[in-house]
Amino acid sequence: MLIKKINELRKNLERALSAKEMDNNEILRLSMELDKYIVEYMKIRVCGSETDKDARTSD
């Protein structure tokens, strides 16, 4: 789910950046939303790798 949302936002941001008349507010909004989803994705990845590491060391 997060990957789909990140890719969708990235495409929308790329489209907004390549538009002849860029809407700076829209670009900022898309960029901030994209950052939010990337941070959430990274949190999940880090927590998942820490859980895996804990499981391996508890044997």
Q: Which structure tokens are listed for 16?
A: 């907004």
Query: Which pLDDT score is estimated for 22?
Result: 83
Tell me how many domains the chain contains: 1
Q: What angle do CA 16, 34, 48 make, to 5 degrees?
A: 155
Query: Which pLDDT score is estimated for 29?
Result: 94
Q: Is the pLDDT of residue 7 over 80?
A: yes
N- to C-terminal Cα separation, the chain: 32
37 or 1, which is more confident: 37
* pLDDT tens sequence across 11-45: 999 999 998 888 899 999 999 999 999 999 999 99
Query: Are 30 and 5 contacting, i.e. CB atoms less than 8 angstroms apart?
Result: no
Q: What angle do CA 49, 34, 39 make, to 5 degrees?
A: 25
What is the SS3 assignment for 23?
A: coil
Residues spanned by the domain of 33? 2-57
